[in-house]
Each structure stands twice: as structure tokens, then as C-alpha cells.
Structure 1
């Protein structure tokens, strides 16, 4: 607001032929409330507009205070026609020029007295320390210095009305619009309020008093009588003791439009705006904390579920890969005899094929492998188990560890040595009394010397076996020179597909037909890991449904909040809130619920995850998953809070003020 005065002799407010009708839509008849009102009010006047209920005085007040628009006619403020101004420009004018004192006080129930008084200054962008000091000074001046921290429900009617007067003065209160300010008060409190209004008029404020009580109206210096939408009496300009140049600063007509354009576009700084909105949202949510907690549950459950399920899924996937890596499966593939599709002949693998495969690039180990069921006997104990016959590099190929002894060597293979390495379970069953190294077992009635014991693998197939050299098995035990399959270990599993193609080409060239099959373990491991990942993602999506449900809950609660807080929205608009301010207020509340729910969900998810780890469930927390869940929670509040916020911002100020 520019600290200058209107041109000499120019009224501050000029109404010409103002008409206002209601209805006329949806088949309803149109009812004209104001019938061509003409009225001039000069700066510094103390005017009472008096009339019976239904006379149109409240409608006139709403038009004077820019809460409503006339149906036709001209309204000039400080020489400028404001009938065509936009919503934000009218909000600026209400914020800078007007202060409202309502019959029902219209204080925001979630704010204490000090913060209620500060509301107009918040939208004006006044720094927090400055507006807090001014609010406290105004309350002290009005005799409420000890009640600044009390909410409206803790104040009497007279005290609430004084708070509303302090709010009206917060931004200067150049024009005080008092609508039945004593109607809800006892006689003593009413007299105090009228005394305050007279003091404000004496200080140079323009005071417009709306009342139905002639005795109250008589305390003004000018009385305008209205009946059935027409002015039927006007006491004329108030000149009793009023300075022609009032003390309160007014709009400069020459710079009015430029000042309004700047004020409508800008309020507080971005940081101050966000800080104030967050603080206001927090206070509102804290007052209704039980309902806020219920709203949070959907978000909390959704975020916690996403974090826990993705952590469990990732843990299961990594455990599977670790188990496969324990047997070398992530670097291994197998070549088996197959059937030629053209002739239907079953193929055979030979040791010559093993040598060909070993020369293929990226092949680390290629060795013959043959298995069969045999009877092992040691002392008086018989054990029917599997014999695995392989090359001397079997230990490295299968990624085994030795608990005791050694593995058979290349020399043992050449000499057809009758040596055996036992799995852990096989050793415990045959030699339960202790170390088996150097002792003998009968393997299909052929004596074999035990030279090693494998460390526990955790799998029956790896712990209940007898491993012997392939050459010994094929000639002395199993009776066939042909490998049952060729076990291959690759150097780089990322190149496995190329290696499979090379091995296929080499063997097809040697056999002239494709009578073999290749089991690609690394590709299988990747597929299994991808399946586990997809399953984890599916679980996370299912858990994400909770976020959507929580978002719908937020939208529902916020829509209810808009309905329940309609009057609060009207109060904020009357004190200068732009549509974007209202929209930001409700959107911030929705996002804050999501933020708090997201943080709580992350904390609960981590606690549940730690509990699962304690119970030996494989869990791997993912920072990305946690950030994703938290981000989705915030986005949920933003998306589902937008519609209620937009609905709140589009409310008509007059309709909102009349709401419950």
C-alpha cells in the first residue's frame, strides 16, 4: 500500500447504481436484493448502515469489502473502478485496505489468538518477527496481552471480538467493516467493542458499521438507512471532529493499479511462504491429530510393506545366487548327449569332445563326468549312494572345499588309481567314529582308499557322494568309456551365450549332426534371478496398492476437511488470501501427511526388517527401494491432495464465510 492520500475532495468509496440479484439459474426465479444503490464514503468517516433483516445491508457490506461482486453498476475505490478486477487483485485489496469485524468473530479455531491476528500479515509477506511483535502489541492494546496463546474456544465472546478487531488492524485497517459486531455479545462486551470502534474512527480509520439496531447505529457519526434494497435515508457526510486528511495512509489513485499488480502477484518470499505454510499445516494437523493418525495409516502400511517385501525379495534372490555360486553354478554349463532330430539317433560324448570343448575361447575347465548308484561298505556298514566320477579339476569346477585330506590328481587319473573323496554325510555314515583319511571302503566290491573329505555344502547331492577319477570309474566301476556329460566352467559368465554358440559349432562340426544338448547354468541363474526380481517387484506393486488406498484416504479426508473448514477458507480469503494461497495451504497439509507417513513407514519397515534378520530371514535393504517408496508416498499426497486443494481455492468468499 502506497503511503499517500487520494485527491482532495474525492470519496474513498463510490457506489453508483449498484444492483445485486440472486437465483435465476436452474429454473429458480431471480430475486434482486439491491436496487441501484448510490453511496459515497470518504476517508476517515464513521458510517453506520442500518436496516432490518433482509434489507440488503449484509449484501452491501460484502460488496463494499470486495467479498462479492455487484450484478451491475460501478464500484470505485480511491478513484479506480474495481468491478472488473480478478480474484487475486481483489484479495490484495481486501488484505491492504480492509479489515473485517464479524458478528460471529470468524476466528480460525486451530490457531491461537496471536496467530489469528497475524493471518492478514502472513499473506502480505510481513516477516515473522515483525508480525508477531505487531500482533502482540495490538492484543496488549486491546487488553488481551495475557491471552495471546489461547485458542478461540478458550476465550469469551468479547475477547474473541477484540481478537477479530486486532486482526482487522494488523495490516493497517484503513477501512474497518464491522458486521453486527455487538450482535453476539452481552451489553457490557458490546459497549466495549463500540468504544473501540469509536477510538479507531477518532484515530483516522474509516469505519463502516453494519447493524440492525438503531441504538448501536446512533453511536456512529453518519447513519445510512437501507430498506428493501434501497437507501431510504442518509445523514450526510460526517464532519464532526474528523480531520480532512485522515491519519491512516490511503491508496494513491495515481499508483493504485501498479501497486495492486505488484501486490497481487507477490506476497512473502518463497522461503518464508513455504515455512509459514508448513507451520500452519502442522498446527492444523496437530489439532486434529487423531484423525491425522488414521489418515497416516494407509501411507505408513504402504511404505513399510514396499520396503519389507522388496528387502525380503532381494535377500531371497541373493541367497539363491549365493547357493548357486557355492557349487559353481553361476560359471558352469553342461553338455549332454541328445537325439539328432533328422535321423532320431541318440548321440554319444567322448573324451575327444572334452578336448575340443577345452580349446573353445572363454572355457576355463572342460572335463568328463559320469555318475551312477553304487554300494559303499566300510566295516559292517553299507551305504547305497551316488558315485561322481570326474577329472582332477572337479574341486575347482564345483567350487568345493576340503575338510580333510586332498583331492585326486592328474597322476591318479592316468594310473587309474582307486582313490575316493567322500562327502560329509557319506563319511559320517561310514565312519561315525572319526577321521576316514587313509582307510578303505569297498565300492562295488573294489577297495578304494579314502584320501579326502569334502566340507559341508548344505545340499544332500553334494554331501552324500563318493567322488572318484573318471578314468577309474569308466574302466573299473561303471564299465563305460563314454562320459554321461561334459562339465564346463567358463571364465566370464557374461559371455556365456557366445561360448554356447562356439561350443555348439565345434561339436556339430565334429559329429556332423547336432546330437547333444547344452544346459546353460549361468543363463538359468540369470533367469532365476530375474524371476525372483519380478516376483519382488510384483510384491512391491501389491504393497504399493496400500499407497494408493492411503492416497484415496488422504483425498477423502481432505475433501471432508474442505467441507468442515469452509468458514476458515472464507476467513482466510476475507483477510487477503489469494486462490494460490488457499490451494497451497491444503496441498501442503496433504503432502505433510504423506511426508510424516513416509518417514514413519520407512522407520517401521526398517524395524520389521531387523526383526526378520534376527529370525534368520534373508533380508537386503535397498536405498533405492526406500527412496522409491518414500517418493511415491509424497507423490501420492501431491496427486490425491490436488483436487481438494483446488476445490478449496475455488470457493466463493461469501459462500465460504456462511458455511459451517
Structure 2
């Protein structure tokens, strides 16, 4: 009959630089299904190395290792993991339980990597623990269990996937005499149920309880003595057939997340410090982009309210500098009339402004007077709130009438009385209030647009400003697509009328585009500054993951011994990094939105949109993925035997 396990001239050599140390020398060994075998030897004899090779935790340097006639030496890492998952169960001297998991969760680990559904895992783990008299300890962590109880949990874990071959490494070494006897009795019972048992020990008393005793010294088998035949190979074969293959992967993402949460809770303070980096980075991105977008939207709305189909004509700055007090400024109301005659011009609104002092009763107030024409409300998209606006009769009759801004009304009429029909003094000249403008708020430059009095251009020129030159002409075009051509025609017209180029024209559409470009650049700058914080947080994630891999090396070895493939380990640690980033990202979003909300309560323009939130969270997630990959990759490339021997 073909042996279950066969080693043919197996040797193992370890290399330390140029130094080669041969630990096993041409070991040949056959173990049949259903045997109870003890391998005995002193420390340094090579028995642990032999166990690692038998359990596919390590591979021989030379020779052949066959399981059921299948050559194991040509298997890759994932195939070896699958073989361990479906064939072997491990019982370790140090128990090697995951300290952050409960007894039931520890037992379920092999089934997780076998792809067994959660409810099936729970039922089998519970049944195994109850059969080992641990039914009252399902939710206890290893630190809450005695040594004997921990070893029984380790045995239940070894049986979780069927455990056709149970490899027990010094199973009684860390136990008292009574617990040791109980564990050996359990191993005997498992053998009688068809499991092949291989015990690695240095104790002659323990070894004598096996049916076959193999003695190893200096890497060679010096004795192989069988006390009686094998137990029940047929039962063992049937049990192996019933072992579930599953998907050989973590059963679902939720299981990986649960593992991650357990690991993060184990070092809560360190996790919180790592989260702070992500929180600050994400919060900064959200808050800065919300405030930046709000400021941009506010200014653009002001510009848009003026209209993107507007041209603003004003005297050139060079002309201002070349004259004292602006006396040589030649822009006059007639220029507006001439511009109105050009094609594609809807209207041309001339304006002149000056600082004036208002008086009503015993209240004096300094503000800006604006002499304008009836088309002003259309040109500025600024409707009258109450009363009426200046009309053509007021213009022709030089009427002393005025329309007040909301700020002026609040200042001059603090008692809340209706200003319509009342008189105010403008530079000691009485003007009747005929209307009140609707509220506009601050301009793009931050100036209060409601702090103004509007008077007929003709009246203002004669009675307030003392000059006929105007400061600006606002031109609205009929077809915005031809605004550039219209601008050129207006400039040519004014140059011809003035016999020189003493005016400049601002295209509000160009202003909007220029501001948008500048604002986007500023937002990019602010976002980059915030991204630096996110980068720092990412480095923190990488640091915590590197430390976590270092601290949990033995746990990684246990997971590999129970069937985890390299990509399972890779996924687990990447998920841990992503969980940190996701939690930090979520808290950071709340903090960022809260900061932006507080800023809005202080009067700052803020825009809450999904874009910055999604961008910030996506960046946090990507940060976790990028910075978590290297530690996860390092963890996945550990050799099981090396990881299990880590301190």
C-alpha cells in the first residue's frame, strides 16, 4: 500500500552568508495513514526542522517529499498553502493562538482560508470546543484561558478543516503533568478516530505513548521502532475526503475587516495617533476646498450678476496720472450716446461718482454718490426694492431726486420710517427720496454695494460733482459671441472722437475667466498644502503597518500554517491599512465639514459639495492602499517556518 507520507533522502541546509549548515542528512521515512508516531530528539537534533518539512512549512534542500504519492518539492507557495489547509492540523508547544481573537475565532481561522461560509464555521467551531469541554469559554481570549485550555483550543483549530494529519510540536512542553496527560489522551482519541498523529518531543515519557517511535540525532534517524500497527487508515481516508476545499481564500471582505478591527483595537493609542494624520489631512482638504469653492462661487456670482455680456469703458490710468485731479479726462455723456449707435450695443450707461456727505435731522453720514441714467438697473442687474428709479423726465428736468442703497437707509432712518417721499441733504443740497434699491451685499472686492446714493447724471453733474466728465460707461451687447468685435469698434470710435487713445475697455467675460483661472490655481495650491498633511498621514499608516507586521510575525506564521496563501496575508494587511484610512477619512470629513460650517457662521462664503468630500475620502483610501502595500507585501513573503520561530 502507498504510504501517506514518504521522505526519500531528504536533506536540509541553512545558509548564513558563505557558511552552510546541514541540519538534516539524507532522511528517508514512510508514515502510513492512521499511525500514531512520535519523533524524539534533543534540542539541535533536527526534529523541529523535520516537522517543518513534514508540515510543508519549509522545503528540503535536496531529496523528495511525497504525500499520497504526489511530489511536494515542486509545489509553489500557494499550492503548499492549499496542501496544509486540506491535510494538516498543527498543535504547537506555545499554542500560537491569536491574542486579539476569542477562542471560537481562533478555531475558525483555518476554515476562513478554506472559504467556508460564516454560519458553518461558527457551528463547527462551537461543536469542537464543546467536545473539548470549552463550551463556556467560546468568547474568552487566550489571556483569559489556562495553558491546558489554550492547548485544547489549539487542538480544536487543528481539527477545524478535518486535520487528516495532526502535527503536534512539544504539545505537553508548556503544561503541567495533569494537563499534559489530558492532551495526550486527546491525541490518542483523535488517532482512534482515524487521524494520523505525529508528535515531536524531547520527552521519552511522551514518546512512549505513541505506537511508533522514531529517534533522531544530529540530523539522522538512528532508531525507528514500531510498538503496534496503525489504527484505522480507512477512516482517515474517508475523513480526508470530507475535508472542505472551499475557495482557499478569505471567505468575505467582512471577515478581513473584522480581523483588521481586532488588530487595531489591540493597540488603540497607537491607532489613534495614526488616525490623527489622516483626519488632519482629509479635514484640511474638505475645509479648504469648501471655503475656497465658496469664495469662488461668491465672487463669480457677483461678476455674473453684472453680466458676462458687459463691457466697462473708463479713462485709461495713464490719462489719470498725467492730469491733476483728472481734469483732462475726456470721457463725456456724449460718448455713451455715440456708443449706443454702434451695432450689437443694447445700451450704454454712463456714470460719475464722488464722495458726498448726507444729512437727515441730526444724522450726518459720508457715502458715495453715483450719477447715472435710467438704464442703470438693467446694466447692473440691480432691481429697485421700493419706490421707483430715475426716469427720463428726471434726467431732462435736472430733478433733485435720489434712490438710496439699503446701508444708507439703515443709517439715515434708524427708526424704520419709510424714506420714500422724504428729503435728505446731499452736500447740503436737498434731494427727495423716490426709491430704495434691493440689497446687493458686498462686491467682488469686498466693498459694500448698498452704501450708495443714486442721482440723475444731469443733476449730479451740475449740482454735486461740478464737472461734466464721467468715470465709466457700462455697455451691454446684444450678441455675446460678438463681444470682442464690438469692443474693438467701441475703442476705435472713442479714439476717433478723442483724437487719442485715452480710454480702456474691460471685458467682463474675460474678467470672469481670469478670476476663475486664478481661483482654481489658488484652490489647487490650498489642496496641495492639505495633501501634504494627507501624505504625512499616509507615512503614519505605513509606519503602523510595518510595526504591526513586526509584532505579529508569529501570527502570520500561524495563519500560513493553517492554510493562508500569500495573497490572503497581503489582502489582510492591505485591508487593515484601508480600514485605518477609511476611519480616518470619515472622521476627517466630519471634522472638515464642521470647520467649514463654523467658518460660515462667521460670515465666510462656504460651498458644501460632494466633489471635495469624495475627492478627500478617495485620496485617503488611495493613501492607505499605497502606503499599506509595502508592509503587506513584506508580510506575505515571510516563510511560514521562519515566521513561526519569531520571538
Equivalent residues in 2 for 1:328-339 (5 A)?
A: 328=306, 332-338=310-316
2:553 — aligned with what? 566
Distance 1:74 1:361, change over 3 A: farther
Question: Is the counterpart of residue 396 in structure 1 residue 378 in structure 2?
Answer: yes
Task: State the distance in 2 between where 1:465 and 1:613 align.
Answer: 27
Q: CA deviation at 1:182?
A: 0.7
1:409 — aligned with what? 391
Distance 1:643 1:493, change over 3 A: farther
2:248 — aligned with what? 267
Q: Is the 8 A contact 2:384 2:436 kept in 1?
A: yes
Q: 1:15 aligned to 7, 23, 31, which one?
A: 7
Q: CA deviation at 1:91?
A: 0.5
Distance 1:20 1:464, change over 3 A: closer
Q: Is the 8 A contact 1:362 1:491 kept in 2?
A: yes
How high is the TM-score relative to the length of structure 2? 0.88
Q: Is the 8 A contact 1:375 1:384 kept in 2?
A: yes
Question: Is the counterpart of residue 34 in structure 1 residue 24 in structure 2?
Answer: yes
**SS of match in other structure, 1:84:** coil
Q: CA deviation at 1:223?
A: 0.7
2:234 — aligned with what? 245
Root-mean-square deviation (CA, aligned residues, Å) is 3.4
Distance 1:612 1:581, change over 3 A: same
1:542 — aligned with what? 529
Q: CA deviation at 1:408?
A: 2.3
1:3 — aligned with what? none
Task: State the distance in 2 between where 1:309 and 1:505 align.
Answer: 45
**SS of match in other structure, 2:136:** coil
Q: Is the 8 A contact 2:330 2:498 kept in 1?
A: no
How high is the TM-score relative to the length of structure 1? 0.87
Equivalent residues in 2 for 1:194-593 (5 A)?
A: 194-236=184-226, 239-240=228-229, 242-243=231-232, 245-249=234-238, 266-268=247-249, 272-323=251-302, 328=306, 332-338=310-316, 348-360=330-342, 363-372=345-354, 386-402=368-384, 405-423=387-405, 438=421, 449-454=432-437, 462=449, 465-474=452-461, 478=465, 480-490=467-477, 497=484, 499-507=486-494, 514-593=501-580
Q: CA deviation at 1:381?
A: 8.4
Q: Is the 8 A contact 2:13 2:20 kept in 1?
A: yes
**SS of match in other structure, 1:125:** coil
1:96 — aligned with what? 86
Q: Is the 8 A contact 1:375 1:383 kept in 2?
A: yes
CA deviation digits over 1:349-397, x for unaligned, max 9?
Answer: 3545323433556644302223346677788988776543222222333
**SS of match in other structure, 1:240:** coil
Q: Is the 8 A contact 1:340 1:347 kept in 2?
A: no
Question: Is the counterpart of residue 602 in structure 1 residue 589 in structure 2?
Answer: yes
Task: State the distance in 1 between where 2:71 and 2:222 align.
Answer: 25
Question: Is the counterpart of residue 189 in structure 1 residue 179 in structure 2?
Answer: yes
Q: Is the 8 A contact 2:35 2:229 kept in 1?
A: no
Q: Is the 8 A contact 2:398 2:458 kept in 1?
A: yes
Task: State the distance in 1 between where 2:590 and 2:365 align.
Answer: 53
Task: State the distance in 1 between where 2:368 and 2:109 align.
Answer: 84
Task: State the distance in 1 between where 2:450 and 2:9 align.
Answer: 102
Distance 1:413 1:200, change over 3 A: same
Task: State the distance in 2 between where 1:382 and 1:104 align.
Answer: 91
Distance 1:211 1:362, change over 3 A: farther
Higher deviation after alignment, 437-446 or 583-592: 437-446
Q: Is the 8 A contact 2:100 2:262 kept in 1?
A: yes
Q: 1:122 aligned to 109, 112, 116, which one?
A: 112
Equivalent residues in 2 for 1:44-193 (5 A)?
A: 44-193=34-183
Distance 1:279 1:499, change over 3 A: farther
Q: Is the 8 A contact 1:307 1:621 kept in 2?
A: no
1:644 — aligned with what? 631
**SS of match in other structure, 1:67:** coil
**SS of match in other structure, 2:39:** strand
**SS of match in other structure, 1:249:** helix
CA deviation digits over 1:181-207, x for unaligned, max 9?
Answer: 111111101111111111112222111
Task: State the distance in 1 between where 2:414 and 2:104 align.
Answer: 85
**SS of match in other structure, 1:10:** coil
Q: Is the 8 A contact 1:350 1:483 kept in 2?
A: yes
CA deviation digits over 1:480-524, x for unaligned, max 9?
Answer: 554343222456778755553453355456667544211334433
**SS of match in other structure, 2:129:** helix
Q: Is the 8 A contact 1:15 1:38 kept in 2?
A: yes
Higher deviation after alignment, 574-583 or 420-429: 420-429
**SS of match in other structure, 1:235:** strand
1:5 — aligned with what? none
Task: State the distance in 1 between where 2:129 and 2:76 align.
Answer: 33
Higher deviation after alignment, 414-423 or 150-159: 414-423
Task: State the distance in 2 between where 1:320 and 1:498 align.
Answer: 27
Q: CA deviation at 1:598?
A: 1.4
Q: Is the 8 A contact 1:493 1:522 kept in 2?
A: no
Q: Is the 8 A contact 1:403 1:453 kept in 2?
A: yes
Q: CA deviation at 1:135?
A: 1.2
Q: CA deviation at 1:32?
A: 1.0
Any stretches of 5+ residues in structure 2 without a counterpart?
A: none
Task: State the distance in 2 between where 1:293 and 1:375 align.
Answer: 61
Task: State the distance in 2 between where 1:64 and 1:78 align.
Answer: 13
**SS of match in other structure, 1:307:** helix
Q: Is the 8 A contact 1:48 1:217 kept in 2?
A: yes
Task: State the distance in 2 between where 1:207 and 1:445 align.
Answer: 112
Task: State the distance in 2 between where 1:303 and 1:375 align.
Answer: 51
Task: State the distance in 2 between where 1:63 and 1:404 align.
Answer: 94
Q: CA deviation at 1:426?
A: 6.1
Task: State the distance in 2 between where 1:193 and 1:353 align.
Answer: 107
Q: Is the 8 A contact 2:164 2:239 kept in 1?
A: yes
Task: State the distance in 1 between where 2:642 and 2:590 align.
Answer: 43
Higher deviation after alignment, 138-147 or 501-510: 501-510
How many residues align structurally? 636
Q: CA deviation at 1:591?
A: 0.5
